[in-house]
Amino acid sequence: MIYSKMLAAKAEKRKQISVLIDPDKPTIRELESLAQLAERVKADYFFVGGSLLTNDHLGICIDTLKSNSSIPVVLFPGNNLQISAKADALLFLSLISGRNADMLIGRHVIAAPYLKHSKLEVIPTGYMLIESGKTTSVEYMSNSLPIPSDKNDIAICTAMAGEMLGMKLIYMDAGSGALNPVQTSMIQGVNNNVRIPVIVGGGIKTPEKAIENCNVGADIIVVGNSFEKHPELLSEMTAAIHSV
């Protein structure tokens, strides 16, 4: 089970890396080589999804990842169309930083019967969007306000409430391609106040930044954009995170 792997890694203080794949972006050839590289360097997870997909590539994307690596594929769905039984697990994201009822529970009601009949491991995840210096796709598409980047107290209380509501993960996201990643003081504050694993992503470009985040309590680092532009960074980033 994927969630038990996340818990075990946290208990052993092993930091993990997830490679975020937007199914629209890479070619099959690029995906194959990224999957093979991720397998060689022992990346921990693939997260697959996006705020808005404009092609029907989700299935082929998962097939390509699976036929070129043994790394678990976890859906990170921007909407209900991004559910596929080909994946191993799904982050059942409730947008707890926002006040859009549809993103908090509405979409979940629609997805629930499909998920119940699938073999997907469903992982309840408190998703917190953090302001990042520009309007991100997720902010616009989710029609929700992000938490201001300097309001650590709001982030901490939101994460605490998420844990009390039974979420199994907290995902702090500055959004894909964020100008400013989530600040370390906010990650530290959240980590000090919840026991569940903390995922951090959005705008992480360097191994140094990833290490800094891990040192203040991030358990899983998610990187998407940077690997799209510089796949060779995957090796260095994975080694850095695994060395913390």
Q: Does 226 participate in binding ligand 1GP (rule CB under 6 A)? A: yes
Binding string, residues 12-51; x marks residues near ligand 1GP by CB under 6 A = --------x-------------------------------
Q: Which amino acid is at 190?
A: V
Q: How many residues sit in the footprint of ligand 1GP (CB under 6 A)?
A: 15
Which residue's C-beta sits nearest to ligand 1GP?
A: 201
Q: How far is the CB of 116 from ligand 1GP (least distance, A)?
A: 26
Q: How many CB atoms lie within 10 A of CB 78?
A: 18
Q: Does 98 participate in binding ligand 1GP (rule CB under 6 A)? A: no
Q: Enumerate the H helices of the chain as residue ranges.
A: 2-11, 28-41, 58-68, 101, 107-117, 137-142, 152-164, 184-193, 207-215, 225-229, 233-242
Q: Which of 169, 170, 178, 231 is nearest to 202 (CA)?
A: 178
Q: How far is the CB of 117 from ligand 1GP (least distance, A)?
A: 28
Q: Does 142 participate in binding ligand 1GP (rule CB under 6 A)? A: no
Q: How far is the CB of 223 from ligand 1GP (least distance, A)?
A: 5
Q: How far is the CB of 51 from ligand 1GP (least distance, A)?
A: 8
Q: Which of 50, 121, 116, 62 is nearest to 86 (CA)?
A: 62
Q: Which of 125, 109, 131, 243 is nearest to 194 (CA)?
A: 125
Compare residues 119 and 149 and give the one whose CB is closer to ligand 1GP: 149
DSSP state of 102: I
Q: Which stretch binds ligand 1GP (CB under 6 A): 87-95, 148-156, 219-227, 234-242?
A: 219-227
* Structure token digits, residue 221: 């680092």
Q: By CB under 6 A, name the binding residues for ligand 1GP.
A: 20, 173, 175-178, 201-204, 222-226
